[in-house]
Every structure is written in C-alpha cells, then in structure tokens.
Amino acid sequence: MKVMLDARVVTQTAFHGIARYVQELVCHFTENPQDIEFYFIVHSKSPLIQSPVPSHIHYIYCDTPWMSLWSQWSLLKIIHRIKPDIFHAPSFMIPFLCPCPIICTLHDLNHIVLGEYYSLFHRIYYSLLFYRLRKRSMILTVSEFSKTQLKTYFPKQEIYVTPNGIGVEFSQCFSTNEINKFKKEYELPSKFLLTIGNKKPYKNIKNLIHAYCQGDFSLPLVLLSEFDEEYTHIAKKYGKKHKLYFLRPIPHSCLPLLYQSASVFIYPSLYEGFGLPPLEALISHTPVVSSPVPSLTEFLDPTLSKTGLFMIDPKDIQSISAGMISGIHFFENHNSSDSMTKECNMDYSWDITIKKTLDIYEKSIQLYSPKQPIL
C-alpha cells in the first residue's frame, strides 16, 4: 500500500494543532515500519527529514506554500507521478482533483462557526471542500465535539474520531538546574505566567492581556505567540508594557521544559477542536487556567480544582483575572502537583491515534475500488 501524506505544514516553530498532529504521525510512521510505503510531502528544509532515510519512507520535496492555489497544481503533479493508493490530507487543504481516495482530517470548523472572522473566499472554499469530501473520501476528526459539528454537513458519512495524543515527554520531571538553564537561554523571568496562541481573534489573547493588566499581578506574562503591536499597546495603556514578554521561537522538544518553567499556564480560547496545550501543561505538573470549550471538557474535568485546573468564562475579563489568582494561589501553596497527572484522563495517547489511523487506511483500501469514479 502506498500512502501519501502532505506534511508541509510542519516548520521549526509551528505549534498549532495541525502541525503537532502531522509531526506525530510522521514520527510514528517513520520509527515503526508498517507494510506500507509512506510518501511525505515536505518542504526542502523541513525538520521532519531524517538521515538515513528508512526504506519504507520517501520524502517528496515541494516548497509551494501549503495554503495556496498554486499548491493544487503542485500536488496533482506529485500524485500523478507517485500514484498513491491513498492521499491523507491532515487539514482542510486537499487536492480537489486527486484521482485516488482521500482521507481528510478536519480538526474543527472554525472557518464556518466563526465566520465573522473570515472572508467570502473561505465560505466558497468550504463549500467546494465539503462537496469533494462526499465523494470517495473518509473524514477523520480529533474530538467528539468536532464530530458533532461535522455531522451537520456530512449526515450520511461516518466521521472517525482519532483524538490527539499526549507525548510521554510531558510527564518528565526536570531538575531545577535544567529549568534554570532553559530560562537563562531564552531570557525568561524566574517566575511567570504563560500562554500559547496566535493572532487569530478566537484565541482571545487581547482579553487575557486586559485581564492581566487590570489585576494586581507581580508575575510577568510570557506569550509564545507572534509579536502583535496591539498587545503591547493594550499593556502600555495600563502602564504594564514592561511586564509583557514575547518568547522567541523554541523547538517543539523544549515545550515540556517551557510548561514546567511556568508558574501558571493560561488558555482563554473561545473555540477549539481539541486543545492540546492545557492538557500538556497539566501533565507537566503546571496549574492551568482554561476556558471550558466543549472539546476541552472531554478530557479536562472542571470539578477538579484540587488538581490545579481552574475553568473560566473567556468572555468575562473578571473571570479570567479570578482564574489567574486561583492558579497562582495553587502554585504558591502546593509543593507537588503529581495529583494532576494521576487525575487527568490518560486515554489520549499518540499510539492509540496511530493505530486508529492505520485501521482507517486499511478500511479505505477495502471500501474503495481503484476503478471507482470520483465524481
């Protein structure tokens, strides 16, 4: 069986859910040989490229941006050359004229649910996407929440849930020396509040900064996010610009150290298909202040405040501020947070995700005849 996977979304500094998902798929498929030939479409400078290359792995270099119209032509040429049995699109970007069956992982429907933030082009694109995915395709998603939303658009199709996993590296306990060395290398304060996000409005970083600035917090706020002048402008109005830190890009391997270096992790997102960061922070023994987005509540129990988890209303600045106060209080009054790891739902393993994905590859081969027409 030949499986082609578009892995161009992965870069050295991509921390969003799709990139993390693709990175884990590629790493597991590479390290665990199957009776499958994998063809990974990657950028020429992709961090996924290994040397020596295992015999069942093939890298197809394509420097066309993965989110571009020109990408359609580039992918089509590659597909006709390799002739895979399956094309796995790990996001909403698919090759529309793909001659083989498509397996598409739709992580969420934020472009539709949060349509006010997107253009007419996005709505047209999704109409075409949904039309194509009703033809000789299988749809995966990462949570029961996203599955429920997708069933509105695909009532007659099976939607397969392959949840994101949590790597074992996040449960590792680092020494004080290791943490201090990491803080020094990245010029981090000795104690700080941490958030991870981007400029997209639903990540709700602006509300977080307002809540932080309106509260009397001595700990600085560190953002693993693109620099946004609007964020600093908000902090400057409160006279707290000096307490806002933008962390320069770090490799994925340093995320466990980053979580354990933080006093409290804050995740005020308005919408998520899964939401990896709050669970990773909990497993890393760091108190978490998080919004109760439905997809998050599948694995974060809002009643477990004793474990260092504090739910907030992300639209209420006072609620965010109160959650941070609770998180800091927990941090200051608990010498150990091992109970966090024990009380979290540990069913989310990348091994489970990989097994389910491989099963779906097999099911796709059995379901679709190579000669079955697409349209």
For 80-137, how does the pLDDT look when each residue is reduced to its tens digit (9 = 90+)?
999 999 999 999 999 999 999 999 999 999 889 888 888 888 889 999 999 999 998 9
Write down the pLDDT at residue 300. 58
Write down the pLDDT at residue 39. 97
Q: Which structure tokens are listed for 222?
A: 């560190």
Higher pLDDT, 83 or 346: 83
Please provide residue 6's backbone torsions phi and psi, each rounded to the nearest 5 degrees. -80, 110
Write down the pLDDT at residue 335. 58
Per-residue exposure over 8-19, b if at least 16 CB sit within 10 Å of its own CB, e if not: bbbeeebbbbbb
Number of Cα atoms under 13 Å in the Cβ half of residue 48: 33
| Strand ranges in the chain using DSSP code E only, listed in sequence order | 2-6, 37-42, 57-61, 86-89, 102-105, 137-141, 159-161, 193-196, 221-224, 244-246, 264-267, 288-290, 309-311
Number of Cα atoms under 13 Å in the Cβ half of residue 11: 10
CA distances from 110 to 141, 164, 276 (A): 13, 17, 16
Number of Cα atoms under 13 Å in the Cβ half of residue 281: 28
168-343 matches 2-165+349-367 in CATH topology: yes
Percentage of the chain with pLDDT > 70? 90
d(CA 100, CA 106): 18
What DSSP string describes 196-234?
E--S-GGG-HHHHHHHHHHS---S-EEEES---HHHHHH
pTM: 0.89
Note the pLDDT tens digit of each residue in 148-172. Answer: 999 999 999 999 999 998 888 898 8
Note the pLDDT tens digit of each residue in 190-235. Answer: 999 999 998 889 999 999 999 999 998 999 999 998 888 999 999 9
- Please tell me whether residue 253 adopts helix, strand or coil conformation: helix
250 has a pLDDT exceeding 90: no
Write down the pLDDT at residue 123. 87
Note the pLDDT tens digit of each residue in 281-298. Answer: 988 989 999 998 765 677
d(CA 316, CA 326): 16
Q: Taking a C-beta distance cutoff of 8 angstroms, is the pair 85, 2 a contact?
A: yes
What DSSP string describes 324-342?
HHHHHHHHHH-S--HHHHH
If you search the block for the tokens 């939303």, which residue do you land on? 149
pLDDT band at 174 (very low <50, low <70, confident <90, very high): very high
Distant-in-sequence, close-in-space partners of 250: CB < 8 Å, separation ≥ 6: 13, 186, 224, 258
Q: Taking a C-beta distance cutoff of 8 angstroms, is the pair 282, 341 a contact?
A: yes
Domain definitions of the chain by residue range: 2-165+349-367, 168-343
Q: Taking a C-beta distance cutoff of 8 angstroms, is the pair 145, 273 a contact?
A: yes
Write down the pLDDT at residue 301. 58
Higher pLDDT, 50 or 185: 185
Distant-in-sequence, close-in-space partners of 232: CB < 8 Å, separation ≥ 6: 241, 244
d(CA 71, CA 90): 15
Rg from Cα positions in the chain? 21
Please, what CATH class does the domain formed by 2-165+349-367 belong to? alpha beta
Q: What is the DSSP letter of 66?
A: S
187 has a pLDDT exceeding 60: yes
Higher pLDDT, 247 or 293: 247
Write down the pLDDT at residue 253. 87
Pick the CATH number of 168-343 from 3.40.50.720, 3.90.190.20, 3.40.50.2000, 3.40.50.880: 3.40.50.2000
If you search the block for the tokens 């075409």, which residue do you land on? 128
Mean pLDDT lowest among 1-15, 103-117, 296-310:
296-310
Write down the pLDDT at residue 252. 84
Mean pLDDT of the chain: 89
Q: Report which residue type is found at 43.
A: H
d(CA 364, CA 133): 13
